[in-house]
Structure formats: C-alpha cells, structure tokens
C-alpha cells in the first residue's frame, strides 16, 4: 500500500492561499494538514476558523486537523462542521482522553492523538484500539521548519510493534522535519502518513516534491 502525504498549509503563502490550495488539489498529495495553535499549548498562534473555512471552501481532499490547543473538546464540533475529516488532539492537552476521542467520533470524524517528543508511546496502550491514527511529533510543536528529532525513529518502531498486537491498520503519522532524505527510513520504521511543510513549500517545484515524496520506489508498507 502507498503511504499518505499531507502538506502542511502552515508553510503556505497566506497571501496566496487559494493558489497553494489548488497546487495541493492538483498534486499527488492525499490530505491537507491544518495546524491550529492557540499560543497556550504551544508558544505560537497560527490560525483558527476563518482560515479553516477558507481551506474547506477550495480543498478537494480530506482535511487533517492538528489541534495544538488546550481544552480541545470545546472546539471539536466547530472543526467537524467546517470540514475536518480527521481530528488530532494532543495527549498532553487532554485530561479525559477517552471522552475526547468519543466526542470526535460522535461528530463523524476520524480520531487521532498526537504525542510530543518527550511523551512515551506506551501511554497510548489502553486507548490504541479506539484510535484511527497516532501522530508522532518529531519536533517540538509550534513551528514549521524545525530539525527532525532522531529519537522519533525508535518511537515509531515501538508504536508499530504495539499496534501490530492491538490495531494493525493504525495509521502512524509523522509530523516535523519530514523530508525527501528521511521519508524512506520513516516508512521502513513503520510510519504510514507524512506531514511536510518546509520540505514542500520551500522546494523549487512544489508539485514535483510532493510526487517525489509520494513515489518511493524502494519502500512500501504492508498493513
Ligand atoms: O504541527 C506542526 C508544527 O507544530 C507541523 O505540522 C509543521 O507545520 C510541520 O512543518 P515542517 O517541519 O514540515 O516544516
Ligand atoms: Fe502539525
């Protein structure tokens, strides 16, 4: 099976957002990755519903919404109404994670949990069967264009081994510092979905970079 490529619109040109959305529509990308940051959970503020609505208006592919916010329960319904196909909440931001996951599903969205670089994957053991996806943060959340944290490889392998026992078709998404130079090794480690901001939007030919990240002749995954 082929892995998923999710360009992060955080790295798009917001003065030309429609153009960048059309570029993704016309590329081999699978999803739109939408980073929502509240300035509390992470030391940055990105955007909220007005941008989400603008993306939803033109995007022709599923919206993969990554909530880097405290109290996500408060906003899940609104993100669902504005076109979210998958909603990711942070383990570190949820006191009652099981309830939050059920809430996401009750609005018809796929449910996913993100782990910060310091959070061990074993903490998801008792909720893994309820999840559609786990997002491994391979940088500290808050900004695009950061350097990939190498320890993330061990986390992906550990999570894939755990998923093989409990939930073999779990999607493992990697987010932060993903590029053409580490994607093959990440697929081999067991990841199946890849967010890329800087690697795509800083490329001379963005559409070609998406195609290059999508078509990896040496690797494919089996789940
Ligand atoms: O969630 C985040 C950052 O917190 C990401 O989705 C970034 O947008 C990824 O950007 P690159 O590291 O690929 O430039
Ligand atoms: Fe993200």
Contacts of 118 (CB under 8 A, 6+ apart): none
pLDDT of residue 223: 52
Q: Measuring from each residue's beta carbon to the nearest atom of ligand 1, which residues come in under 6 Å?
A: 8, 10-11, 33, 35, 66, 139, 141-146, 175-178, 195-199
Separation of alpha carbons 33 and 138, rounded Å: 15
pLDDT of residue 1: 78
Radius of gyration of the CA atoms of the chain, in A: 16
pLDDT of residue 83: 98
Contacts of 152 (CB under 8 A, 6+ apart): 117, 136, 137, 138, 174, 176
Ligand nearest to the CA of 37: 1
Question: All domains of the chain, ordered by start, with CATH?
Answer: 4-214 (3.20.20.70)
Whole-model pTM: value is 0.97
pLDDT of residue 222: 56
pLDDT, tens digit only, all 223 positions of the chain: 789 999 999 999 999 999 999 999 999 999 999 999 999 999 999 999 999 999 999 999 999 999 999 999 999 999 999 999 999 999 999 999 999 999 999 999 999 999 999 999 999 999 999 999 999 999 999 999 999 999 999 999 999 999 999 999 999 999 999 999 999 999 999 999 999 999 999 999 999 999 999 999 877 665 5
Atom of ligand 1 nearest to the CA of 10: 8
Residue of 30, 35, 38, 64 with catalytic role: 35
Residue of 20, 38, 132, 175 with catalytic role: 175
| Sheet strands side by side (includes 32-37) | 4-7, 193-196, 171-175, 133-137, 110-115, 84-90, 63-68, 32-37
33 is in an annotated binding site: yes
142 CA from centroid of ligand 2 (Å): 8
Contacts of 187 (CB under 8 A, 6+ apart): 3, 216, 219, 220, 221
Of 176, 182, 202, the residue with max ligand 1 atoms within 8 A of its CB, to mutate for a pocket test, comes to 176
Q: In the Cβ-directed half-sphere of 214, how many Cα atoms lie within 13 Å?
A: 17
Instruction: Return the beta strands (E) in 58-109 as ranges.
Output: 63-68, 84-90
The answer to whether 132 is a known catalytic residue is no
pLDDT digits (tens, 9 = 90+) for 146-180: 999 999 999 999 999 999 999 999 999 999 999 99
pLDDT of residue 211: 98
137 CA from centroid of ligand 1 (Å): 9
176 is in an annotated binding site: yes
The answer to whether 175 is a known catalytic residue is yes
């Amino acid at each position: 099976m082929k892995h998923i490529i999710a360009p992060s619109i955080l790295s798009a040109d917001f003065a030309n957002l429609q153009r960048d959305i059309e570029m993704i529509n016309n590329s081999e990308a699978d999803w739109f990755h939408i980073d929502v940051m509240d300035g509390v959970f992470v030391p940055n503020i990105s955007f909220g519903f007005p941008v989400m609505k603008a993306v939803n208006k033109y995007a022709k592919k599923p919206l993969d919404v990554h909530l880097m916010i405290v109290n996500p329960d408060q906003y899940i319904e609104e993100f669902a109404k504005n076109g979210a196909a998958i909603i990711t909440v942070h383990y570190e931001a949820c006191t009652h994670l099981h309830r939050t996951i059920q809430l996401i599903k009750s609005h018809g969205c796929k449910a996913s949990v993100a782990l910060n670089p310091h959070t061990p994957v074993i903490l998801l053991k008792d909720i893994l069967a309820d999840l559609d996806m786990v997002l491994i943060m391979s940088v500290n959340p808050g900004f695009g264009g950061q350097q990939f944290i190498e320890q993330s490889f061990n986390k992906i392998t550990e999570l894939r081994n755990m998923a093989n026992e409990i939930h073999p078709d779990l999607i493992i998404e990697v987010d932060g510092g993903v590029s053409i130079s580490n994607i093959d090794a990440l697929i081999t480690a067991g990841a199946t979905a890849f967010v890329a901001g800087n690697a795509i939007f800083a490329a001379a030919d963005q559409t070609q970079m998406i195609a290059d990240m999508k078509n990896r002749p040496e690797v494919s995954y089996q789940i």
